[in-house]
Amino acid sequence: MFSGEEQGKVQIYTGCGKGKSTAAFGLAMRAAGCGGRVFIIQFQKARRCGEHESAERLGINLAQCPQGRGSGPCTSPCPLLTAARDILKEGGADLLILDEIMAAMRHGCLSLTEALSLLETRPAKTELVMTGRGAPQELVERADLVTEMKKIKHYYDEGLPARRGIEF
C-alpha cells in the first residue's frame, strides 16, 4: 500500500455482530505501523474512547460527529462527508476509514448516492473502509471485500454494559 505500487481497495465491515469498528481500527494500526497516512472519520460517535488515545499516539488523524449516536442530520451537506471528500480529493490518506457511515445513512446524515460518490472520488491508491450495520446492496456490490460480523452470543443480552477498554 505504501510503496506506491499497490492498488487501493474498498472494504466494508457490516453485520449485527461486535467487531466492525475494532477490525477497522486494527487495520488503521497496521497501516500506521507501516508508515501509512491514516485518517478515521467516525459518523454517529461523539464519545472519546480508548481507541482515540491509541490513534493519537500512532499519529492517526481522527474526526468525530459532534452530535453522536442516533442523531439526525446537523447540516447539509454533513461536515464529515465534506471532510471525507476533501481527504480523497487531496489524496491525503493512504487509508481512510468511514466508521459507522451506514448508521449515518440510516439517520439521514448523508444519502446512499453521496456514499457511492466517495467511491468515485477515491484515488486509485487509497484504501477505503466503510463500517456499520446494514450495508446497502449497492455498496456491497461495489466493494472489493465485504465482511459480515454475525452475533452468535453476546453478554449485552445478559445486561452487561459496555466496558471501558473493551467496548470503548
Average pLDDT of the segment spanning 85-89:
96
Q: Could you tell me the pTM of the whole model?
A: 0.90
Distance CA 23, CA 18 (A): 10
Helix spans in the chain (H)? 20-33, 50-58, 79-90, 101-106, 112-121, 137-142
Q: What is the CATH number of the domain that holds 36?
A: 3.40.50.300
Confidence of residue 23 (pLDDT cuts 50, 70, 90): very high
Flag whether 162 is in a domain. no
Burial 5-18 (b: 16+ CB within 10 A, else e): eeebebbbbbbebe
Q: Is residue 163 part of a domain?
A: no
Give the mean model confidence (pLDDT) for residues 97-113.
95
Which set of grid coordinates corresponds to residue 98? Answer: 468511514
Cα atoms in the 13 Å half-sphere on the side-chain side of 115: 30
Whole-angstrom Cα distance, residue 125 to residue 1?
Answer: 7
Q: What is the mean pLDDT of residues 54-75?
A: 80
Please report whether residue 157 resides in a domain: no
Q: How far apart are CA 129 and CA 146, in angstroms?
A: 10
Range of the domain at 98: 10-49+60-132
Q: What per-residue confidence (pLDDT) applies to 36?
A: 96
Question: Is the separation of the CB atoms in 124 and 58 below 8 Å?
Answer: no
What does the mean pLDDT of the chain come to? 90
What's the structural domain count of the chain? 1
Domain contains 116 = yes
